[in-house]
Amino acid sequence: MFVHDSLTFRVRDDLTSSGNDFESVFIEIQRDHGCNIITRAPGSSLVNFNRSFDLYLNSITKKRKLCYIMGDLNLNLVNCSEHQPTDDFINAVFGYGLRPSIDKPTRITPRTSTLVDNILTNSDLDISAGIFYSDISCFSKEKILQQTFITRDINPNSINSFSADIAGTDWNEV
């Protein structure tokens, strides 16, 4: 995981996991964002993974932070309606207020295309997620961009300044 030098972050050991079902590293960025990298080993038990991941999501979402969970889940979300363990996974994701950001295949071979990598988030902001395809590997890389919003500090001084600006405006041309 790469974190830009300008961001303050810390690794959350209490939310970092290295078990049989999956491995993850969780960092807290500037106290209000959580970012997680997760990997589920191919061929591991989906039932056990779903059980462990459900408990993990419960502990993460209790913190009520803006959260991004990125990783190689080795669950083909393209066929979630045809595969019960994958359907159980996606129902748990939605049940904890998260949603997948990637909706196109992330692993493409001449015979198959699967959606096994994703970015899950609980963000309500306008997010652009995408996939970098490469001829070097059948695997792709995911990215996520978040829009930044500029807000105005409203206090007695800013209200007085705004009122003075309005009072000094020539409204005859309007």
For residue 87, is pLDDT > 90?
yes
Q: How far, in Å, are 54, 115, 116 from residue 99 at the CA level?
A: 14, 14, 15
- Per residue in 4-42, pLDDT (tens digit) is 788 888 888 888 878 778 888 888 887 677 777 788 888
Give residue-wise pLDDT tens across range 42-60. Answer: 888 889 988 988 988 888 8
Q: What is the percent of the chain with per-residue pLDDT over 70, rounded to a whole number? A: 81
pTM of the predicted structure, to 2 decimals: 0.68
**Residue whose token pair is 């198959």:** 112
Residue 82 vs residue 64, higher pLDDT: 82
- List the domains of the chain with CATH numbers: 9-149 (3.60.10.10)
Answer for the pair 65, 41: CB distance below 8 angstroms, yes or no.
Answer: no
